Amino acid sequence: MEFFESSDNHREVITAVNRFKSMVKNQEQYYFDSEELKDIVEYYLLRGEFEQSQDVVDYALNLHPTNSELKILKAQVLVGNLQYKESLKLIEEVELFEPYNIDLLIVKGTVLSKLKMTDKAIKCFKMSLDHAEFKDEVYYFIASEYQRNLEYDEAIKYYKNCLRENPEHESALFELNMCFECMTSFTEAIQFYNQLIDLSPYSESLWFNLAGAHCKLEEWVKAADCYDYALAINPEFSSAYFNKANALASSGDYEAAIAVYKESYEFESPSFMTYGYIGECYERLKDFDQAMSFYKKALSENEEYPEAWLGIAICLDGLGRSNEAYVSIKKALELENADPDFWYTASEIEEKLGYIEDSLNSMKSAVELDQTDISLFMDYLLLIERHLDQNLLKEAIDDGSERFSNNSILLYYKVAFLLRAGKFQMAYQTFELALTIDYKDYERVFIYYPEAKNNQNVLDLIDLYRD
């Protein structure tokens, strides 16, 4: 259990435990004072050996029936044996005589928590705060109750209090990080972790959590620096190597990421995912042969790793081996058909192979899976433009206009479409709307329809909205 500490004098405790074991083995009756028995019960409780602790505490209360500390320990034993109601009944008996006993309040709060009586549990824990020996633990219990009740603001407040008392409290760090994620409070997380690092600069966990918060804000270079601090403190921190490599890859520094992934081999055997990430870095560097070698290593560890099949498809396509890429992307889609990237890649390969209907269907699947990505939708429109008639393209543009209302990228494309179709008045009106939303992007019209550079009305509107 987490709400008590073992005896400071370990040797004496072991002696008492062995003496108790000898008594049981020899079926004899020895005398133990209450402190010895308390130490023996706690010895077993700390190890989760609840049956043994039950035997000891029953024997102890037979010898010392009025000892309140032993009764509180028995309540803890009952909690360990999942006998919550029996534990609460015993606590209430002791409470009649010692209503402000700190240990009793903490145990009672724990039992009430187990019984899902959150408000009463919090009240008990708060009552114990002023005189609790280990305030960090009590703050942790309070925060846990609020977190369980989805009251993340209060949970964050008390986890912070816990960590101010004890910056090395690993469980509080982990749970606080979860709360920050639920609230997407990553700037607040960074500020708080920096405060804690001032108190405990050699905590690898604090640096690791700070790095994670920077990652959430896509501050990849800062994240990599924080992982470096964690590794300086603990050079064998395998998770820090892996996450640092991820941060470097996300920043676009693929060569550095590869080096760090490989460095992690020294401290942890590479998983299929590690091989896959290295393969992706080589893929981004256009080193398709090396990328495929790592994707194949990943598949040798897990042949149903869809990202590796996707990566091989991209590499084969990049090498001009689209027929082989087609086989690989189909295998990838058998394993994962809910990721728009898979369908997008399939569409590209199918278009190259002349499977136009399949390509359009694949791209449509990608768009349906991610209805917020305007770049993806624009690729869909360009695919339709290349292979279908203007009426179908108009339908798709209209559909996109509802999905991405007043999106300047789509509006500039619509302007180009309308100019090409000779619908000039509507084109100019749409162009004005686009210019008011994002003037700087007006050159998209010339990309989508180069002849627009010769349209004086278009040029006049650009000049009109320049300021």
91-150 residue pLDDT tens: 887 777 777 788 888 888 888 888 889 999 999 999 999 888 899 999 999 999 999 999
Cβ of 241: how many Cβ atoms within 10 Å?
A: 24
Q: Are 138 and 132 in contact (CB under 8 A)?
A: yes
Average pLDDT, the chain: 92
| Mean pLDDT in residue range 311-316 | 98
Amino acid at 179: C
DSSP symbol at 352: H
Instruction: Give percent of the chain above pLDDT 70.
Output: 98
- Largest Cα separation within the chain, whole Å, is 109
The CA distance from 300 to 119, in Å, is 52
pLDDT at 3: 39
DSSP-based three-state secondary structure for 35: helix
The CA distance from 455 to 423, in Å, is 13
pLDDT at 186: 96
Pick from 250, 366, 360: nearest CA to 310? 366
Query: Confidence class of residue 413 from pLDDT cuts 50, 70 and 90?
Result: very high
Pick from 265, 256, 208, 210: nearest CA to 231? 208
Q: Is the pLDDT score of 214 beyond 90?
A: yes
Angle between helices 254-263 and 238-250 (to 10 degrees): 170
Q: How many CA atoms lie within 13 A of 266 on its CB side?
A: 9
Query: Confidence class of residue 7 from pLDDT cuts 50, 70 and 90?
Result: very low
Lowest-pLDDT choice from 25-34, 421-430, 432-441: 25-34
The CA distance from 249 to 278, in Å, is 9
pLDDT at 23: 87
246 sits in which H/E element: helix 238-250
Lowest-pLDDT choice from 51-55, 210-214, 294-298, 305-309: 51-55
Pick from 440, 387, 377: nearest CA to 414? 377
Q: What is the dihedral of CA 348, 350, 355, 358, to 10 degrees?
A: -90
pLDDT at 2: 41
Query: Confidence class of residue 6 from pLDDT cuts 50, 70 and 90?
Result: very low
Query: Confidence class of residue 366 from pLDDT cuts 50, 70 and 90?
Result: very high
The CA distance from 181 to 152, in Å, is 10
Which residues make Cβ contacts (< 8 Å) with residue 190, sequence separation at least 6?
A: 210, 213, 214, 217
User: In terms of pLDDT, which residue wins out, 302 or 114?
Assistant: 302
Tell me phi and psi for residue 286, to 5 degrees: 65, 20
pLDDT at 180: 97
Lowest-pLDDT choice from 65-74, 156-165, 432-441: 65-74
> How many residues comprise the chain?
467
Q: What are 13-21's contacts with CB under 8 Å, separation 24+?
A: 13/39, 13/40, 13/43, 14/43, 16/40, 17/43, 20/56
- Kindly state the tokens that stand for 416: 């180009």
pTM equals 0.80
Q: Is the pLDDT score of 1 beyond 50?
A: no
Q: Are 159 and 175 in contact (CB under 8 A)?
A: yes
The CA distance from 172 to 227, in Å, is 20
pLDDT at 451: 96
| Mean pLDDT in residue range 159-177 | 95
Lowest-pLDDT choice from 3-12, 27-36, 46-55, 108-117: 3-12
Q: What are 133-136's contacts with CB under 8 Å, separation 24+?
A: 133/102, 134/5, 135/161, 135/162, 135/165, 136/162, 136/163, 136/165, 136/166, 136/169, 136/172
pLDDT at 421: 95
Q: Are 163 and 196 in contact (CB under 8 A)?
A: yes
Q: Is the pLDDT score of 5 beyond 80?
A: no
61-98 residue pLDDT tens: 777 887 778 888 788 888 877 888 888 888 887 777 77
Pick from 191, 157, 190: nearest CA to 172? 157
Q: How many CA atoms lie within 13 A of 404 on its CB side?
A: 23
